[in-house]
Structure 1
Amino acid sequence: MTTIKLYHENAYTKDFTANITKITSLPNAKWAVTLDRTAFYPTSGGQPFDKGMLDDLPVIDVQEDGEDIIHIIEACPVMGKVEGHIQWQRRFDHMQQHSGQHLLSGAFYSVLQANTVSFHLGTESSQIDLDIEDITPENLVEVEILANQIVFSTKALHTHWLNQDTIHSFPLRKAPAKDFAEIRLVEIADFDYSACCGTHVTNTGEIGLIKIRNWERKNNGVRIDFMCGWRALGDYQQKNSILQQVSNRLSLPASGILQGIEKQLLKTEEISKELISVKQEFYRNLATTLSQQGEIIGHNKLIVHTLTNITPNEINNIAKELVNKPHTIACIGGINADETKVHLIFSASPDVPLSMNHELKNILPLIDGKGGGSAQSAQGGGSNVDQLPTALTLAADHIKEQLYLL
């Protein structure tokens, strides 16, 4: 028996009574319930399913099965009559977004002759894909203004059931498949006519503000991200709050924030350059100190040291500074700021006849690490911070043994 779809008769139906016609046990310990009539909309046409209750059992999914609507619940109900209750806030949100999509798609077609090829109603925002290769900010403004003009004009939305004989009575924005027996048309009076099975508001004023958030190129077309109604209000409230906080932090009016940020970025860039210069001087001084503390072994000097709260790039700069001097070997270990990772750099001046790659790989297992390099320079990292002293001691002892044999 075909399920009567109350959401097509009246999308504002929140509560209803129905009879269970079938109960099916599912493999995932859930139950599929078929009713003789329902106001629960199933996932279809880019619109997600409705949530709500059947008596005291939550409806966690709604699916189409031919002409039947299947309600997925987590406990087995009792055959007979049930009370259905739609989660209205979710339903009305979907109505705003879906009706807004029709209106926005119609505006894109009116302004740019761009067809909507797909629609997705997401949990935070929604997207439509257009069959155009590019778009300009000016295009978006023009489309957005037109769409909101239609919102403020409170045009009526009507639905019609059409067949092959009556479909030509309306100027559809996009032709439907030719093999349909009956099709549902959603009309925005004197503006847009589109085939659709979703739930919609009764006039454009209920859609509320339509806001295009951004766009991107997608599959030889353009993807538009947008919000309508309460979602658009929430998005504006959040962004206005952020704007106000930034305004307060910079002690500037909202109109001067962009200029203020640009000034701050210039200052930051200048400070960064100064910091780089200071760090380079620090590396040179540290390298001089470490070199003086190095251990002389024959004609060579071995420098072994551990640094904390340091980046791999900074360790590398120090090691390079050290091995600029002849007959020098530098084994430098570094621990990152949160003390979760170790980074090692083993470097030698070109006149040292040892392989740093070989020496590093010998001790990498101790720090649960990976890495490698050349005879003159090798580096690697690992996660066993506690074993760093042992690893460096082992490496130093092995290097000393080889140096004494030279």
Structure 2
Amino acid sequence: MHTERLYFADPYLRHFSANVIAREERGGRPAVALDRSAFYPEGGGQPADSGTLGGVAVLDVQSEGELVWHVLAEPLSASAVEGEIDWARRFDHMQQHLGQHMLSAAFEELFGLRTVSFHLGATAATIDLAITALEPSQATAAEELVNTVIWEDRPVHARFVTPEELARLPLRKPPQVEGPVRVVSVPDFDHSACGGTHPRSTGGVGVLHVRRWERRGDTVRLEFLCGGRALRDLRRKNAILGRVASALSVGVDEVEAAVARLRDAEERSRKALELAGERLTRYEAAELAAQAQVVGGLRVVSRVFEGRALEEVRSLAQQIGGAGCVALLGLRGAKAQVVFARGDGLPLDCGALLRAALAPLGGRGGGQPGLAQGGLPDGAQLEAALAAAVAHLASATEL
């Protein structure tokens, strides 16, 4: 038994008649093999076709030996069936697959870069190039060459060749199959051993756009879009650009300059805000230092804050310490945190004091004699921790 693969002769065939020649279950679902099929089975980096057989959805198509198996959504009782290919999916795959052939050929022709793998996904296709870094100028040159060949609308020839013909063809890489070899050729540009489906001419690809690339181990993975995918991507990006331009009250061509102005203004505002914050922290630190209580011969500021950034509280503690005081500050937020600081020359080890105050409450932390930081498992314990630290200072002048 074998399945005649109709897509070899006519990749544009959408409807066909066939007979069921075998049935089985595959992955818990019913599957049938036909005497002839236009459904392309998964292989060569190209996903399987979808569509219907006798009105039943075809979920997957796989090739095993001489048979093409069609995995179905539900059992199919008929022996003679009508098949219908999901043409939008098929033609999309045809565009991406031929685009890949030409893109790989362009990189090899221009830069001697070999394609080591190809993946055709649902939204984008990728090739892996045998190089660790790709220059933007290289990607642009390859993209330009491919689109030149696309717009020349060269014919695409797909045929099985004899061993003698195969030996004469300048294939990009040796065939990966045994037995008869099918070669897809773009005249004066590319010859590849391939069993996939492709447009009749390069113009069927429409356009190829290199979207982005990144290093992956010893290769560069490059993502590209062809035909309808490239058009949809252009529409999406154009819509985004239009909305941004409208929000900025500028023309589309002025968006880049407008964004640059916004970034400059944001940077100036950020620096001004930082300076204002530093001034406020100094004023607050001076006010708190003026209200310090004397404990064990040291001027101590003990306070719990809420809704402030840890960096802000740490800076405040250091400013209070700079005023010749000991700062015992708590911060109640997503975490319960404690910051201790002291002025230079004061007889106190903030790290030791913090550990002594937090340990009985299940807290942890540490630091240097002049600055220490830690945390507690429960924000409700902050007042108790600071009270414990004050008690330690009252009972001993050195820690």
With normalisation by structure 2, the TM-score equals 0.86
Cα pair 1:7 1:38 within 8 Å, conserved: yes
Q: Deviations over 1:278-326 (max 9, x none)?
A: 1111222233344455555443425121221x33322322232233344
- For 1:11, the equivalent position in structure 2 comes to 11
- Alignment of 1:377 with 2:372, yes or no, is yes
Task: Give the conservation status (yes or no) of the 8 Å contact 2:52–2:83.
Answer: yes
Matched, 1:152 2:157: no
Q: Say whether the 8 Å CA contact 1:357–1:378 is kept in structure 2.
A: no
User: How far 1:232 sits from its partner (Å)?
Assistant: 0.8
For 1:83 and 1:363, how far apart are their aligned partners in 2?
76
What is the RMSD of the two structures over their aligned residues, measured on CA atoms? 2.8
Q: What secondary structure does 1:243 align onto? A: helix
Matched residue, 2:74: 75
Q: Given the alignment of the two structures, is residue 222 of structure 1 paired with residue 217 of structure 2, yes or no?
A: no
Paired position in structure 2 for 1:243? 241
Structure 1 SS opposite 2:213: strand
Seen in structure 2, the aligned counterparts of structure 1 residues 347 and 174 have a Cα distance that, compared at 3 Å, is: same
Q: Which residue of 2 aligns with 1:161?
A: 160
Deviations 1:216-267 (A, max 9, x none): 3333343322111011111112222223333333444444433333333222
Q: Cα deviations across residues 151-209 of structure 1 (Å, max 9, x unaligned)?
A: 111111111112323313433232325x7221111111332111111111111111111
Conserved? CA contact 1:326–1:351, under 8 Å: no
Aligned CA distance change for structure 1 residues 316 and 124 (closer, same or farther; 3 Å): farther
CA distance in 2, matches of 1:155, 1:75: 43
Where in structure 2 are there 5+ consecutive unaligned residues? none
For 1:303-342, what aligned pairs fall within 5 Å after superposition?
A: 303-308=302-307, 310-326=308-324, 328-335=326-333, 341-342=334-335
Change (3 A) 1:51 1:330: farther
Residue identity opposite 1:222 in structure 2: V
Residues 25 and 396 of structure 1, relative CA distance in 2, 3 Å threshold: same
Structure 1 window deviating more from structure 2 (246-255 vs 390-399): it is 246-255
CA pair 43-318 structure 1, distance change in 2 beyond 3 A: farther
What CA distance in whole angstroms lies between the structure 2 residues aligned with 1:33 and 1:297? 88
Is 2:390 the counterpart of 1:405?
A: no
State the secondary structure of the residue aligned to 1:345: strand
Amino acid at match of 1:52: G
Structure 2: which amino acid aligns with 1:159?
A
Summarize the Cα distance change of 1:205–1:347 in structure 2 as closer, same or farther, 3 Å threshold.
Answer: same
Which secondary structure state, in structure 2, belongs to the residue aligned with residue 114 of structure 1?
coil
User: Which residue of structure 1 aligns with residue 56 of structure 2?
Assistant: 57
2:381 paired with 1:391: yes
1:45 aligned to 2:38?
no
Q: Is the partner of 2:163 in helix, strand or coil?
A: coil
- TM-score, normalized by length of structure 1? 0.84
Q: For the Cα contact (< 8 Å) 1:211–1:226, is it kept in 2?
A: yes
Compare 43-52 and 191-200 and name the one that shifted more. Answer: 43-52
Partner residue in 1 for 2:279: 281
Which whole-Å deviations, capped at 9, do the CAs of 1:27-85 have from their partners, x for residues lacking one?
6x434443333322222111122222333433333333333333333434436333333
Indicate the SS of the match to 1:216.
strand
CA contact (8 A) 2:376 2:382 kept: no
Amino acid at match of 1:275: L
Between the aligned partners of 1:37 and 1:373, the Cα distance in structure 2 is 76
Letter in 1 for 2:228: W
Displacement of 1:361: 5.1
The aligned residue for residue 368 of structure 1 is: none
Q: Give the Cα separation in 2 of the matches to 1:231 and 1:104.
A: 16
Distance in 2, matches of 1:290 and 1:170, equals: 86
- Which shows bigger deviation, 110-119 or 89-98? 110-119
Q: 1:289 to 1:142 in 2, by over 3 A?
A: same
Cα deviation, residue 145, structure 1: 1.9
Q: Residues 168 and 307 of structure 1: is their aligned pair in 2 closer, same or farther, counting only changes over 3 Å?
A: same
With over 3 angstroms needed to count, the CA separation of the structure-2 counterparts of 1:81 and 1:273, relative to structure 1, is: same
**Alignment correspondent of 2:108:** 109
Displacement of 1:19: 3.3
How far has the Cα of 1:149 moved from its partner?
1.5
Query: 2-side partners of 1:279 and 1:151: how far apart?
Result: 59
Q: Which moved more, 1:132-141 or 1:35-44?
A: 132-141
The superposition leaves residues 324-375 of structure 1 with CA deviations (integer Å, 9 ceiling, x where unpaired) of: 344524232142xxxxx2251331426335431353455467xxxxx63336
Aligned residues: 388
Contact kept in structure 1, 2:288 and 2:301, CA below 8 Å: no
